[in-house]
Structures are given as structure tokens and as C-alpha cells.
Amino acid sequence: MQPNNSLDGHILSVLRQSLRTVLPDLSEEQLVLDRDLAELGFNSLDRADVITMTMEALGVEVPVVQFLGVKTIRELTQLFARQSRR
């Protein structure tokens, strides 16, 4: 895996904001890049909320189904980065 600084900082901060909006009890330290979102307590509905909120904030409009199988904050950030570039 690449070091953290290879990730788009803006996307990561928007995503972290969405994650903490959905589950406000999580601390910044708990949002480790390679932690599985389900393990952090995000169920399917929560994950859908995080994805759609982040899409809104980034102005990305793609089907939610493209995010199937994406498990970690790192993977989500990378996928959003690919889609924002389009």
C-alpha cells in the first residue's frame, strides 16, 4: 500500500466529515485508513449515507452500486478520486 500522502487530501477530509456526521461518536483517531467500515459500526444504511453525502459534497454523480464491495476509508477515497477526475 502507498503511504497516506498519496491520497487526495480534500476528498479524505470530506469523507471523514461524512463519516463523523453519520456516526458522531467516532473520534478522528478511530478513522484509521485501513479499518473496515463495518467494523467501525457503519451498517449498510450508514455506508449508503456516507457515500451519498460525500458524493453531494464533491459534486460527483455516479450510481451508488459502483461502491459495492468497497470496505475501507482508503478504498473509498481512492474510488472517489477516480470519479472526481472524470
Partner 1 sequence: MSASELGIGIEDLNVYLGCLKVPVRSFFQARGLDERRYGNLQMQDRSIALPHEDPVTHAVNAAKPIVDALGDAERASIEVLVTASESGVDMSKSIASYVHRYLGLSGRCRLLEVKQACFATTGAVQLASGYLASGISPGARALVIGTDVAIVNERAQYAEPTIGTGAAALLLGPRPRVFHPDHGAFGNHSFETMDSARPRPDFEIADVDGSLFAYLDCLDRSFAAYADRVEGVDFERTFDYLAFHTPFVGLVKAAHRKMMRSTGADPGQVAADYERRVAPSLVYPGQVGNLCSASVYLALASIIDSGNFDEGTRVGLFSYGSGCSSEFFSGRIDMESKRTLAKHRIAQRLADRIEITFEQYERLLEENMKCLVPVADRVLETAPYDALLDRIPDRDPMLVLKRIRHFHREYDWV
Site residues for partner 1 per CB under 8 A: 43-45, 47-49, 52-53, 56, 63-65, 67-68
Nearest approach in angstroms of CB 74 to partner 1 is: 18
Q: How far is the CB of 43 from partner 1 (least distance, A)?
A: 6
Q: If you search the block for the grid coordinates 463495518, which residue do you land on?
A: 38
Burial class from Cβ neighbours inside 10 Å (0-12, 13-18, 19+) for residue 40 reads middle
Nearer to partner 1, 7 or 14 (CB): 14
Closest distance to partner 1 from the beta carbon of 80 (Å): 15
Q: Are 55 and 14 in contact (CB under 8 A)?
A: no
